[in-house]
A = this chain, B = another copy of it.
C-alpha cells in the first residue's frame, strides 16, 4: 500500500463525495469551498491541494453525474426489444436511477441552463439520441395497426418528463400528498408501473 495511511476512504474520495453533496444541494454559486472541506472532514488548504479551484472541482462532479442523467437511452433504443418492452425498461431503469440520485435532475438542469453548450456536450458528447430509430419503430407498429401514430420526440419527451419531473418538484409533491420521504419513494416505485401503463394505454390501439 502506498496511499491511505489512516483513513478508510481515500481523501480524494471523501472530497468528491462532500463536493457532490454540497454542489447538488446548493448549486455552484451557493456552494462554499469551506462547507465542502468541513463536510469532507479536512481543511481548505488540503482541499485546494487536491483540486486547484472550485471550477475544477465542480467540473469533476458534473462530469461524473452528467452520464447518469441521460441513461442508456441509446443502448435501450438500439436493443432487440419490442417498443413496449423498451418503454417499460426505460421507465423502470430511469426511475431507479433517480431514486438513487434524487437531486440529479435539478443539478443537471441548472447547469444546462447556466451553460447550455458545454453542459450538453458533457452529457451527450456529440451524439444526439436516436429519435429516428424511435420514429421507425413507431411507424412499423402503426402500419401493423398496433398503435396510434405519435411523433418519436413527443413520446420520448412525455416519458422523460413523467420520470424526472416528480423529483424536481419533490417538496411540492410531498406537501400536496402529505407524503413522508418513505411514502414518496413508494410513490415513485409505483410510478415505474403506472407511468408505463399510462404511456402504453395512450399509444396502444
Contact = CB atoms under 8 A, between A and B. Distances in A.
Interface of A: 26-27, 29-30, 103, 106, 109-110, 112-114, 116, 119-120, 123-124, 128-129, 131, 148, 150-151, 153-154, 157-158, 160-162, 164-166, 168-173, 175-177, 187, 191, 194-195, 198-199, 201-203
7 contacts: A119-B171, A120-B172, A153-B176, A157-B166, A157-B173, A161-B162, A161-B166
Nearest to A161: B165
A62 to B, nearest CB: 15
Contacts of A195: 158
B194 A198 contact: no
Contacts of A129: 176
Contacts of A124: 175
A30 B114 contact: yes
Contacts of A198: 150, 154, 158, 202
Nearest to A160: B165
Contacts of A29: 26-27, 29-30
B153 A157 contact: no
Nearest to A198: B202
The prevalent SS among residues of A at the interface is helix
B176 A113 contact: no
A35 to B, nearest CB: 13
A166 B175 CA distance: 23
In the A-B complex, list the 10 residue pairs whose CB atoms are closest, starting with the nearest.
A161-B165, A202-B202, A29-B29, A116-B171, A161-B161, A29-B30, A201-B202, A161-B162, A165-B165, A198-B202
A138 to B, nearest CB: 13
Nearest to A105: B168
A26 B29 CA distance: 9
